[in-house]
Each structure stands twice: as C-alpha cells, then as structure tokens.
Chains A and B, each alone.
Chain A
C-alpha cells in the first residue's frame, strides 16, 4: 500500500479527470467490439452503401470520441471515478438470470418468488419472513393480473417437470375421446 501511494499520486497528477479517462477507455472498448463485429461485412460504394459501412464508420467515430475524452482527461480537471457497488448489481442481475433460466421449465409460480428472494438479498436490512410473505403475495398478484386477467402466454405452473402427472390424465382423455368418436361412427 505504502509503495503504491506515491505512484498513484503521480498517476493522479497525470490524469486530471479519472472519470473521463475511464469513460474514454469504455468507449474505445465498445468501438472495438463494433468494429470487429462489422469487419467482414462489405463496405459498398457511396451510390450503393454496403451493410458494413454504418457499423464500421460509427465504431470509428465512437473510438474517436473515446480518444478525445482520454486526451481531455489529461488537460482539464474533472471528477474522480465513482465507487462501484458489488452486492446490489450481482444479486439483482442474478435474480433476473434466475428468472430467465427457470421461467420456461418451472413457470411463474417458481420463477417469480425465486427471482424476488434473490433480488431482496441485495438489501442488507431484509428480513426473511417479510420477504417470503411479500414474494408470495407479489407472485399471486402477478399471476392474477398477467395470467387470468390479461391471458398472456407466460408459463404459470411447472408443467414440464411435473408433466408425468399430466400424462395419465391426458392419455385417459384421449382414450375417451377415441371411444366416443368410434361410437359415433
């Protein structure tokens, strides 16, 4: 730590606006991804622009602005970089991912509360009982609103996993239908 501090002070005096410096690097990163993604696309001529012109030209412009920002950060003083939170983003975004990976197979009944609980962990002051109760209530309200009232095709119950329970029922139904049909004929 003590060794790093003089070096940091020196860096600090060189980069007078750490926020702009980081922002510039960020832009250059985005531009690089865009440029690589559009690399193999044809440029075309001006009278018939190819599909590659727009991505590459815009990527170059983004990079140019990134460089301007970095140069600026050496010249004019600006803000320091804000501290990045870790717990909030990780837990909230995990909650979203958990929802994405469970909704198809387990339905809203499982994915909803799971998402709620994982997200709720992002706040340290959360109390377990409170969270479980409100997760249940929120899921029921959403089910009522989106499924019953609005008839959205969102999976609600975990049919795909407990499908075997529906199996005999469906088979019985099909058999009865066939029996009735044959009788009618």
Chain B
C-alpha cells in the first residue's frame, strides 16, 4: 500500500530523537502558553513563532504543529477549569466541562478531553494521509481562475460562519484584503499604500496583524470586562474516566471525530462548526437531554473530539492546495514561508520527507499531548490560580519579545500596538477579527491569481465562468451568499413589521 509506505517514510523522519524532542517541546510550550486565559492558538503560535527560527525546516514545522495542538489542548484545559474559552472552538467545552469540574470531576473531564482528542487525532491523521495524494492530483488541475474562485468560495464560507451581520463580515474581509495590498507590488515593484514608510515596503507581516488583533486586543477586552474568574476550587479528582464514562463517551467521540473531520475540510473555517454540531447532535441523541449543561460527559467528549479532528483536517486544504482554510492556518502559511516552504501541491512531490514527516508527527504530537497533559494537570491548575492582574502584564511582555524576535524590528512592535488598538476598535464596532486575518492572507494570493487568470484570458472576465471548475465554485459561493442573506432579510422584515405595528 502506498499509504503505508508514505506513513512509514514519515515515521522514519518524525521518530528521530531530535524531531521527537522538538515535537515534545512544541507540545509542552504550546500548552503552557495556550493555558493562559484569553490566549488562543493564534496568539500562541505568533508568540512562539520565533523560537522555531534556528531549526531546520522539517524540525521547525514539526515543532509548530506541536505548538498548535498544545495550544488547542491548553484552551480546552482553561475552558474546563476556569470557564474561559481560549477561542471559539472551545466555547462548547465550557458548558459541560466546567460543570463537571464544579462537581469534582475536573480530572475526568480533562482526561476524556485528552483521550477523545487523541482518538480523533489518530483518525484525522489517517484521513490526511489518505486524502493527500488524490487532493494533490486534483490541485494540479486547478488553473489560476479556479484558484481565485476557490478562494472566493472560502471567504464566502467565512462570511456564512461569522457571527452577526453578513454585511459586516464581508466588509471586514475586504478590509483584510485591503491591508494585504500594502507593500511592494510583486509585478511592477511599485510601493503601494506605504505612505513613504520604508519599514512596510515588504508588506505587513501576518504575525504583526495576528498578534495585534488576537493578542493585545484580547487583553484590552479582558481588562474591561473584569470578569470574576472562578478557578475550580473543588478537587481535580481521578484523571482516568471509569468504565461507565468510557461507555458513555465512546460513541460521542466517534461521531464527533467524523463531524469535526468533515467540517474541518471545508474552506473558510469550517472547523469552528465541529464542536457546536457535535454538541447539538449529542444532545438530540441523548436519552435524557436535560443532563446537558449540568456536567454530561458526552458534552465534553464529542465536541473535544470534533475540535481536534477539525483542527487537524484543516491542514489538508493548506498542504494540498496551498490555501489556508482559517486564521490559524493563515498564520501557518506565514510560518512556512519564513522557513522557505511555499505551501501547495508541489510540497508532496518535491519534499516528501517534509510532507510525510509532518503528517506522522501529527500523530506523535497527539500521543505526546496525552502523555504530557495527564500528569501535568496539577501544574496547569496552579498556573491558572495566578491572578489576571499579574498574568496580563506577563502576556504583554511575552508578546513584545515574540513580535520583536520575528524580524528583530522595534518598528514591528510599534505596529503591533497599532493593530492592537485597531483590533479593539473593530470589535467595539461589532466586527469579528478572524475573517480579517483570513482575508489578509488570501488577499495576496487572490490578487496574484486574478492577475494571472486575466493575463491568460487577455483581459476577459468570462474565463471565470468558462472554466467548469471555476464556474461551479462561483455558483456555490453565490448560493452561500444567498443563504447567508436570506434569514437576515427575513429578520429585518420582522423588525420592520414590528415597528409598523
């Protein structure tokens, strides 16, 4: 079997002592930072990006993937113990996870989250390995016009999945695209929107925007809400779920893995849907739905499995098509580019070691999370008891050191402060920051593909409709927009009618 040959090649890369150590270190530091309340995977990866700089590309990517999983799992830990979700995908975990913790079953909740994530991770790794080759072959059929339309589709998905108004979601993506045009134009060499600042002649670093919008802006918002954090005071209890717990969570884990993995494949942050879908499904299937929200173990096991499966299958569009499906993957593009790797269909052919090594390390990373986290939960609990008034200055300082180290540039730090204020403002005006980051990363690619497509077609926009692949992608995008707009039209009508009454 080709699949197993490839996985064996990957294992041979990932199982060297050095790469194992990097994977371990990545998972550990990723969890350490990810556990901090209000620090999600995006801020964690940005903060820790510089520590991978001195490492050769394969090791660096393995470590980054480890940081990503660590941050994900750290977010779940905070969700269960402190009731603060680090990011959207662990919101659901707070519902039943924190209730379990209050009942003195925090250990079991954390344990089943780790086990569910591990099982989901194993399956997702196999899915990635199996889909990689066919997806890559498919990617070779894509012309520039098709790529452009695919990215339009991805952005439309992001619009549909964003909370609140469709107009605001589209607008914030456009702002991201506008930001992506800052810097030197690749074809003509002209400086664009730099207003004479040589520091941004190379464009704005994705890390600067990510850190501003997700690191600093998040702190500013946390500071004003002055929420009382109730770190669980009940004992953590046994870590290993008992037989009944296992019986209750086996099927939710399987279903969660399937749902999360499938949704993670969608462009435009489908992964965020996984946990919600899984929670809803489990609640529907449960014999006694009233248990949900009061510490039902299925409500932790299913969504956590879905969360992790989605987090991992989201790598597929990135690694095979070169298109990041969500904001975290957008950041991964930046990280890979720093190491001289351009994500896309050519990686698998040209650097099979790197490609399969990274996939194999995903599985190892999941195993390590299980090994690291279960014994270290006591440490995380103590960590979380540090009051926020001391926590947030440390986070600010870490962010500064991290962002300075990306380019050794004080100007980057100043710019990040600016984007922190910008991020605070857009949230205050009711916009979401995640689609902006996605728009920023896709914007550059979209402009490139648009230009290429129009050069090939000698300036005719018909090329986007003449190519069947592109036309069908655009058609799906259109359907998505209509779906997104319809309910809000209906709602607005209702509001108008109520006003008339």
Contacts and interface: CB of A to CB of B under 8 A. Distances in A.
Interface of A: 19-20, 22-23, 26-27, 30-31, 34, 37-38, 41-42, 45-52, 54-55, 58-59, 61-62, 65-66, 68-69, 72, 75-77, 79, 81-82, 84-85, 88-89, 92-93, 95-97, 99-101, 103-104, 108, 111-112, 115-117, 119-120, 122-123, 125-126, 130-131, 134-135, 138-139, 142, 146, 150-154
In the A-B complex, the 4 residue pairs with the smallest Cβ-Cβ separation, listed nearest first, are A47-B459, A46-B459, A37-B193, A51-B185
A27 B389 contact: no
Contacts of A48: 454-455, 459
Nearest to B226: A123
7 contacts: A20-B168, A47-B457, A81-B428, A95-B393, A100-B411, A104-B410, A152-B53
Contact of B223 (A47, A85, A112, A130): A85
Contact of B192 (A38, A72, A131): A38
Contacts of B51: 146, 150, 152
Interface string B206-222: 00000000001001100
Contact of A122 (B193, B223, B394, B425): B223
B416 interface: yes
Interface string B109-132: 000000000000000000000000
B167 A85 contact: no
Nearest to A149: B51
Contacts of B472: none
Nearest to A122: B223
Contacts of B399: 96
B495 interface: yes
Contact of A37 (B54, B167, B195, B389): B195
A99 B390 contact: no
Nearest to A31: B178
Contact of B50 (A23, A26, A126, A152): A152
A105 B399 CA distance: 19
Contacts of B428: 81-82, 84
Given A19-B430, A112-B397, A120-B390, A151 B458 contact: no
Interface string B405-448: 10010110110110011001110111100000000000100010
B461 interface: yes
A88 B220 contact: yes
Contacts of B170: 65
The interface residues of chain B, by DSSP majority, are classed as helix
A37 B219 CA distance: 31
Contact of B181 (A47, A55, A126): A55
Contacts of B443: 58
A101 B413 CA distance: 9
B171 A76 contact: no
Contact of A142 (B388, B401, B457): B401
Contacts of B281: none
B401 A112 contact: yes
Given A85-B223, A150-B54, A76 B495 contact: yes
Given A46-B459, A92-B223, A30 B175 contact: yes
Nearest to A154: B405
A89 B188 contact: no
A88 B187 CA distance: 43
B29 to A, nearest CB: 9
A58 B457 CA distance: 22
Interface in B201-239: 216, 219-220, 223-224
B7 interface: no
B408 A153 contact: yes
B100 to A, nearest CB: 31
Nearest to B456: A47
Contacts of A154: 401, 404-405, 408
A115 B396 contact: yes
Contacts of B461: 46
A65 B177 CA distance: 14
A114 to B, nearest CB: 9
Given A46-B460, A62-B178, A142-B401, A123 B389 contact: yes
Nearest to B452: A49
B496 interface: yes
B147 interface: no
A139 B215 CA distance: 19
A96 B413 contact: yes
Contact of B421 (A89, A95, A103): A89
B398 interface: yes
A99 B413 contact: yes
A134 B420 contact: no
Contacts of B430: 19-20, 23, 79
